[in-house]
A and B are shown apart, each in its own frame.
Chain A
Amino acid sequence: MSLKIKNLSLSIADKAVCTQLDISFNPGEFWGIMGVNGAGKTTLLQTIIGLPNHSTQLNSDSGKITLNELNIYDYKRLELAKNIGLMLQEYEYNFPSTVLEATLIGRHPFINNWQWENKNDKTLANKALDAVGMASFSERSVNTLSGGEKRRLNLATLLTQNPDYYLLDEPVNHLDLKAQLEILSLLKNIFKQKKQCGIMVIHDPNLAYRYCDHMLLLYDNGQWISGKTQDILTQDNLSRLYHCPIHQLNDEQHTLFVPLHA
């Protein structure tokens, strides 16, 4: 089982996101994607799940994305949703719903038309809420949540969907320091135990270094590098990525990247 990107070239409004991208995402791996603002990280995630923005140009003649050797565009959408899930960077919701209802939408691909969620679905949703520390919020209205609580809710929805591949768009955005560590170690454990795979857009190189075992860096001219985190996250690569000098500090236990003045 694997999710593969083969020879993919993507651009948004004539600006290259990646040229001839080749990557294989495998079960149990936790990938980090880094790049400057507007590099196309979100676009790449949306393309992987088969929902490219209409301004995205997909050079489909050369590249393709396959899940278990089958092109993702040949999957039925519901079938794909059982395998790949996406946590959005942000959402806007203007209607009264409870946290539990919002979490349960993750079960949609698994429930037939005309059927309601059963006990098992509700158990999964409650477990997911518990895992992200939102168990006591299940009857709260989603409109009353803070930014960080909304992120946790989105993650709970994705955990309820329980796909093989988790596409995560800045999942720890808006979270406090301790919560960032809790959520990332939760994800890391899940991927390891359930042999699932995470593909996460993240801005903090220190968190990426700590939790991701593989990295993809998208440079702003369409070039990219990927591989094991220790090989990719170096001060040279990061300095090139962000166009500013970044210094690496090491002690016995930690590696830290510190941006210097540009």
Chain B
Amino acid sequence: MKLKKHPLIFLSSLILLVFLSFNFALLTGSGNLSSQEFFSLFFSLIDGTASPLHQSLVFELRLPRALAAFAAGALLSIAGVLMQVLLRNPLADPYVLGVSGGSALAALLAMLMGFNTLWLTGSAFLGALLSIFLVFSFAHSQGCWTISRLLLTGIILASGWGALISFVLVISPPEKIHGMLFWLMGDLSYDRPLLPSYLILLFGFIFTMAISRQLNILLWGDIQAGSLGINIRRLRTYIFFISSLLTAGAITLAGSIGFVGLVIPHLVRLMIGTDHRLLIPASALMGGALLIIADTLARTMLSPQQLPVGVLTALIGVPLFLYLLKRSQ
């Protein structure tokens, strides 16, 4: 609770953490370096005296991947915060309303048909959008939407998607299954366009910051928020679409990485409380950093074998979360 009094120190240390995790990601890889080599590589990269091989390895392969990991982590963390506000439930995560299911199904179908990466990301995004609109139109049909109706619609649709995903996995040829399972658990290994995700992240972040005080109040319930001058219906619609868009951006970038969107907001809340003006930027930075670290470990721990990054986010996140939970009592 003490960190709360010094929001700027807290945010600056998170920025430092992001910086360090980028360093970690850029300098770590197959072919182990001693710490001395590590530092000399770091400085040679900065003053441009590194070998061309190192330059291209770091800036053409590792940097884009670390940037993708950061964006995915930040997108998922903000989406998680928003979904928890929308459902007024700390247990909600970005996937609870089935956005990832529609997206995953579309991506798997694209893989099954052998489309290239660009088509794959495109169809994943379209699948997410389709899922969003299905949930919205069903949950919204009577002109009003209660939390339980929204949750019920989302969960039902998610199980529908789940069944279709299993179906696609079963009928797919064995040589494609590995790639599909990787995608389902979160995969940052293939080359992808970064700009759209960063545009979504920027837009989502600014928009969410603009409504951050309203988010604080919405947690007290619709009537209380309405009596304090908030247009509930409009705000809920905004939150629904923004969080879904952010989730769609993350899935398109990295597949459905679990755990980040649920645990990062909690972790940050344990440290600094619930004020969204602080919670949102802090969650974005923390989520981005966690995913960079997790992805770097995923590609190096068993190298040359790569692990799905979703496995690592849980392996790092679970003990970290349990530790903070214990300490906060």
Q: Which residues of chain A have a CB within 8 Å of any CB of chain B?
A: 46, 49-51, 54, 76-82, 84-86, 88, 91-98, 101-102, 105-106, 108-109, 111, 113-114, 116, 139, 161, 167
Q: Please, could you name 10 A-B residue pairs with CB atoms under 8 Å apart, sorted by A?
A: A50-B226, A51-B226, A51-B227, A80-B229, A86-B224, A88-B221, A94-B89, A95-B219, A102-B220, A113-B210
Chain A hits for B317, CB < 8 A: none
Complex Cα distance, B213 from A114, in Å, reads: 8
Complex Cα distance, B273 from A25, in Å, reads: 40
Q: Pick the residue among B143, B229, B277 that contacts A109 (CB under 8 A).
A: B229
Q: Which residues of chain B have a CB within 8 Å of any CB of chain A?
A: 1, 88-90, 143-144, 210, 213-214, 216-217, 219-224, 226-231, 269-270, 273-275, 277
CB distance from A142 to the nearest CB of B (A): 10
Complex Cα distance, B222 from A92, in Å, reads: 11
Closest B residue to A110 by CB, please name it.
B229
Complex Cα distance, B166 from A174, in Å, reads: 52
With known contacts A51-B227, A81-B228, A108-B213, A101–B221 Cβ distance under 8 A: no
Closest B residue to A102 by CB, please name it.
B220
Chain A hits for B210, CB < 8 A: 113-114
A-B interface contact total, Cβ < 8 Å: 82
Evaluate contact between A116 and B277: CB separation under 8 angstroms.
Answer: yes
With known contacts A78-B229, A96-B273, A101-B275, A111–B213 Cβ distance under 8 A: yes
Chain A hits for B275, CB < 8 A: 97, 101
Evaluate contact between B226 and A77: CB separation under 8 angstroms.
Answer: yes
CB distance from B128 to the nearest CB of A (A): 27
CB distance from A155 to the nearest CB of B (A): 13
Evaluate contact between B213 and A92: CB separation under 8 angstroms.
Answer: no
Q: Pick the residue among B143, B221, B231, B274 that contacts A95 (CB under 8 A).
A: B274
Evaluate contact between B221 and A108: CB separation under 8 angstroms.
Answer: no
Complex Cα distance, B227 from A81, in Å, reads: 6
CB distance from A26 to the nearest CB of B (A): 21
Evaluate contact between A92 and B231: CB separation under 8 angstroms.
Answer: no
Chain B hits for A50, CB < 8 A: 226
Complex Cα distance, B1 from A47, in Å, reads: 39
CB distance from B22 to the nearest CB of A (A): 29
Chain B hits for A85, CB < 8 A: 227-228
Evaluate contact between A93 and B229: CB separation under 8 angstroms.
Answer: no
Evaluate contact between A49 and B227: CB separation under 8 angstroms.
Answer: yes
Chain A hits for B214, CB < 8 A: 108
**Known A96-B270, A98-B273, A161-B228; further 6 A-B contacts with Cβ < 8 A:** A88-B223, A93-B219, A105-B216, A108-B214, A108-B228, A139-B1
Evaluate contact between B274 and A77: CB separation under 8 angstroms.
Answer: no
With known contacts A77-B231, A80-B229, A106-B228, A92–B221 Cβ distance under 8 A: yes
Closest A residue to B221 by CB, please name it.
A91
Evaluate contact between A97 and B273: CB separation under 8 angstroms.
Answer: yes
Complex Cα distance, B293 from A56, in Å, reads: 53
Chain A hits for B220, CB < 8 A: 91, 93, 102, 105
Evaluate contact between B229 and A94: CB separation under 8 angstroms.
Answer: no
CB distance from B229 to the nearest CB of A (A): 3
Complex Cα distance, B220 from A94, in Å, reads: 9
Evaluate contact between B144 and A81: CB separation under 8 angstroms.
Answer: no
With known contacts A91-B220, A111-B213, A86–B273 Cβ distance under 8 A: no
Complex Cα distance, B220 from A116, in Å, reads: 19
Chain A hits for B270, CB < 8 A: 96
Complex Cα distance, B230 from A50, in Å, reads: 12
With known contacts A51-B223, A51-B226, A95–B217 Cβ distance under 8 A: no
Chain B hits for A108, CB < 8 A: 213-214, 217, 228-230
Closest B residue to A82 by CB, please name it.
B229
With known contacts A101-B274, A113-B210, A114-B210, A94–B90 Cβ distance under 8 A: yes
Evaluate contact between A54 and B227: CB separation under 8 angstroms.
Answer: no
CB distance from B270 to the nearest CB of A (A): 8
Evaluate contact between B219 and A86: CB separation under 8 angstroms.
Answer: no
Closest B residue to A92 by CB, please name it.
B221
Evaluate contact between A105 and B228: CB separation under 8 angstroms.
Answer: yes
Evaluate contact between B227 and A97: CB separation under 8 angstroms.
Answer: no
Chain A hits for B143, CB < 8 A: 54
Evaluate contact between B273 and A101: CB separation under 8 angstroms.
Answer: yes
Chain B hits for A49, CB < 8 A: 226-227
With known contacts A92-B221, A116-B277, A109–B90 Cβ distance under 8 A: no
Q: Give the 8 A-B residue pairs with the shortest CB-CB distance, closest first.
A: A81-B229, A78-B229, A86-B227, A109-B229, A95-B274, A51-B226, A97-B274, A77-B229
